[in-house]
Structure 1
Amino acid sequence: MDQTKRQLTLLFVCTGNTCRSPMAQTIARTLLEEQGRKGIQVLSAGTFAWKESPASLQARQVMLAQGLNLEDHRATTITEAQLQQADIILTMTQNQKELLLEMATDDTTRAKIFTLREFTGDSGDIADPFGQDETVYYQCYKELQASIANAINRIQM
């Protein structure tokens, strides 16, 4: 095996980087670890994040109930450099995808941007649970888990 092989970077993007994308990041990292897959770096960012905001309380509670930890997460806003450096960029909604397509400065970057569901061959958005109760966050978690499992299976390394 070539030890110089570059790591693949998977970037999840939502709006505030306090609910869906950090949940997606943690789910993806966990699934990759469970599958023994190495060489994939998983990151998250938001289109309009309040820098250094923690994950929402409900997101932390739902993830903790699944044995996953978001306590150390701090929100970051997406940058053009992150778009260029990522190999696959998955948004939660079509609107977020369109915003990133406008932000991207070249066709190579634009070609890496998909909605999560589009990447897996499905359609529709992952609804934002922000400000709702844990039941809605749990439903979001289940949707993310299913879509991310499919997405990871599509990534060949």
Structure 2
Amino acid sequence: MIHVLFVCLGNICRSPMAEAVMRDLVEKERLAHKIAVDSAATSSWHIGEPPHKGTQEKLKEYGIAIKGMQGRQLHKTDFEKFDYIIGMDESNIRNIRAMLGSPDSPKIFRFLDLTIHRKDVPDPYYTGDFQETYDLVLEGCYALLEKIKGEQKL
């Protein structure tokens, strides 16, 4: 089983959106038995909380399920469990590396570095633009799925 972890600051907007979108794509490609997806936060602010209302509404608009999702904080053990640890922005990457004690691991990378955008995913908690975040997350998830299929020979 291949394990994918999306990480953002609070685990209520961007990373749960990416988790839900990626799960949806993985299920549609009939790879759910080979790829497991989760999300986490670098902060402890929203542990146990459901995704942000804006994230819920945007995912519902596209028919993507969020049932059972709740915020959790990144743990040192995640480095051993996950094959891909994807930060939504450069600040997340720095925090992930510091929290996991793995500054140079290739399994840790910035999400949109897989796309032509090569930038941070804007945080809709602050921008209010959940559509922009969704569009970038969808593009990034397609790129990540292709990367995984190529690297893991799926």
TM-score normalised by structure 2 residue count: 0.88
Partner residue, 1:4: none
How far apart are the structure 2 equivalents of 1:34 and 1:71? Answer: 17
Partner residue, 2:106: 111
Structure 2 CA distance for partners of 1:65 and 1:11, relative to 1, 3 Å: same
1:152 Cα offset (Å): 0.5
User: What RMSD in Å do the two structures reach over aligned CA positions?
Assistant: 1.7
Q: Deviation per CA, 1:33-75, whole angstroms, max 9, x where unpaired? A: 1111231110100001421011111110111011012253210
Write the mapping of 1:3-152 to structure 2, written as runs, cut at 5 A.
7-37=1-31, 38-49=33-44, 50-106=46-102, 110-120=105-115, 122-133=117-128, 136-152=129-145
Identical residues among aligned pairs (%) = 24
Q: Deviation per CA, 1:57-108, whole angstroms, max 9, x where unpaired? A: 111011101101225321000000012210011110011111111222357x
How far apart are the structure 2 equivalents of 1:113 and 1:131? Answer: 25
Task: Count residues with an aligned counterpart.
Answer: 148
1:113 Cα offset (Å): 0.3
| Superposition misfits of 4+ residues, deviation over 6 angstroms | none
1:132 Cα offset (Å): 4.7
1:142 Cα offset (Å): 0.9
Q: Which runs of 5+ in 1 are unaligned?
A: 1-6
Contact 1:17 1:76 in 2 (8 A): yes
Larger Rg: 1
How far apart are the structure 2 equivalents of 1:89 and 1:120? Answer: 16
Partner SS, residue 69 of structure 2: coil
How far apart are the structure 2 equivalents of 1:77 and 1:57? Answer: 19
Partner SS, residue 80 of structure 1: coil
How far apart are the structure 2 equivalents of 1:18 and 1:112? Answer: 23
Q: Which runs of 5+ in 2 are unaligned?
A: none
Partner SS, residue 40 of structure 2: strand
Contact 2:115 2:139 in 1 (8 A): no
* One-letter amino acid matched to 2:68: D
* One-letter amino acid matched to 1:143: L
Partner SS, residue 149 of structure 1: helix
Contact 1:120 1:154 in 2 (8 A): no
